[in-house]
Structure 1
Amino acid sequence: MFFNRRPPSPTELSDAELLTRYRQLGAVADLGVLYERHMPTVFAICRKYLRPDEDAQDAVMQLFEKLLDTLRRHEVDNFPAWLHATTRNHCLMILRARQRAGPESGPLIVHFPAAAGVEWVGPAHLTDDAADQELTEARLQALEQAMADLPAAQRRCLELFYLEKKCYRDIARETGFDPSLVKSHLQNGRRNLKRHLDSAPNPNASR
């Protein structure tokens, strides 16, 4: 006698298995389970970039709709790391759209701790002055480039420590680094980030 085995429930599958099955079958339930697993982290990242919380919640939902199409077409090896970067980029796109929309959209605020010796963007209140908007965009682009130029380990430790508010022990557990190495990556990352930004062209020079 032959028995038909039921397909495994989405909750029984790993991230990689859910991704593979979603690419093959396109079942939204599979992607929903996968996204729900990582939603606390996605929301935490959105809250670092967007205020009020309602805007962060909207971004979380918008990102899921975006993933419905993207993950059918692209293969992702390390989903948590890819999702982290995708969420960050999505938030930056929202901030840029607000900036282009004008002052009625409110202040452009991207948080980065002053203790790092680095200004992320500020709070930068938008005005009708196009030069002020260009200045804010230039700072944002400079920071993005500086972060991208960091060694991957330093960049990841900075993101986990400052954006996700994780302690050394949690970062060590997530990355596999020794806690002393986490500390070293944070120190070197802050120093290199500041060096990159200090050496970048000063947007005030053209004003």
Structure 2
Amino acid sequence: MQLNPFHLKKKQPTDGQLLQDFRQSGDLDVLGDLYARYMDLVYGLCLKHFKNREDAKDAVIQIFEKLVDEIPKHDIKSFKSWLYVVSKNYCLMELRKAKTGQLRSLADEQELANFMEKAEEWHPIDDEPNKRNEEALKACIEKLKQQQKDCIELFYFENKSYREISAALELEEQKVKSYIQNGKRMLKICLESKQ
């Protein structure tokens, strides 16, 4: 079978490249592509705050519209981390506007758990990689205890959920969460010592 060179997978642009393209062109499709990478995380964060699917979905749209105005005003080093702060601030402002006691019933906890599973607080390991950070991160990961290392690698580099890691490593989900949390803490200390 002959390979058609046009069917080869094109390398995805980085967040930084998409951000730069949007700044230069103002093309909402470019911003849409960038935002789509983190829409599930933004939705999960909004769901956590509003505890209501409809309000969370509305917030995802409102936050996208907010980005159009906010991006040109800021020097953004890591889009993902910056987006997290913008999204969290948006949710908190909206909640302040709402009168207490008017928030509707709790969202389906399972849906919230599925979204939040990969949307833990952002951490240096979540930042957009650059060569120096990546080398420091690899060196720090090597220093972790084996089970922490395995869990971190599966979670961050293979994008596995707690449940999938639990099955792959034959560990309880709670243990997986614990190894990831402790591993992240150790990585943060290690990375800060290298700065």
Residue 25 (structure 1) shift: 1.5
Cα 1:181/1:63, change in 2 over 3 Å: closer
Report percent identity of matched pairs.
Answer: 32
Cα 1:40/1:170, change in 2 over 3 Å: farther
Cα 1:97/1:180, change in 2 over 3 Å: same
Q: Name 1:77's counterpart in structure 2.
A: 77
Residue 171 (structure 1) shift: 8.7
Q: Name 1:18's counterpart in structure 2.
A: 18
Residue 156 (structure 1) shift: 4.2
> How many angstroms apart in 2 are the aligned matches of 1:170 and 1:93?
33
> How many angstroms apart in 2 are the aligned matches of 1:66 and 1:171?
34
Residue 182 (structure 1) shift: 3.3
Q: Give RMSD over aligned pairs.
A: 3.5
Cα 1:174/1:59, change in 2 over 3 Å: same
Residue 106 (structure 1) shift: 3.4
> How many angstroms apart in 2 are the aligned matches of 1:85 and 1:108?
25
Asked if the contact 2:23–2:72 (Cα under 8 Å) also holds between the matched residues in 1, the reply is: yes
Cα 1:38/1:156, change in 2 over 3 Å: closer
> How many angstroms apart in 2 are the aligned matches of 1:78 and 1:106?
32
The residue type equivalent to 2:24 in the other structure is Q
Note if 1:48 corresponds to 2:56. Answer: no
In the superposition, the TM-score normalised over structure 1's length comes to 0.47
> How many angstroms apart in 2 are the aligned matches of 1:16 and 1:60?
21
Residue 73 (structure 1) shift: 2.4
Residue 108 (structure 1) shift: 10
Asked if the contact 1:18–1:34 (Cα under 8 Å) also holds between the matched residues in 2, the reply is: yes
> How many angstroms apart in 2 are the aligned matches of 1:86 and 1:174?
23
> How many angstroms apart in 2 are the aligned matches of 1:180 and 1:106?
35
Q: Helix, strand or coil for the counterpart of 2:94?
A: helix
The residue type equivalent to 2:103 in the other structure is G
Note if 1:106 corresponds to 2:113. Answer: no
Cα 1:32/1:15, change in 2 over 3 Å: same
Residue 50 (structure 1) shift: 0.8
* Structure 1 spans left out of the alignment, 5+ residues: 1-10, 110-154, 161-167, 187-207
In the superposition, the TM-score normalised over structure 2's length comes to 0.50
Note if 1:182 corresponds to 2:181. Answer: yes
The residue type equivalent to 1:182 in the other structure is Q
> How many angstroms apart in 2 are the aligned matches of 1:87 and 1:171?
27
Residue-by-residue CA offset, 1:165-191 (whole Å, 9 max, x unaligned): xxx73598549xxx86832766xxxxx
Q: Helix, strand or coil for the counterpart of 2:38?
A: helix
* Structure 2 spans left out of the alignment, 5+ residues: 1-10, 107-120, 127-147, 158-177, 186-195
Q: Helix, strand or coil for the counterpart of 2:17?
A: helix
Cα 1:108/1:85, change in 2 over 3 Å: farther
> How many angstroms apart in 1 are the aligned matches of 2:153 and 2:96?
30
Q: Name 2:88's counterpart in structure 1.
A: 88
Cα 1:93/1:51, change in 2 over 3 Å: same
> How many angstroms apart in 1 are the aligned matches of 2:23 and 2:183?
39
Asked if the contact 1:15–1:79 (Cα under 8 Å) also holds between the matched residues in 2, the reply is: yes
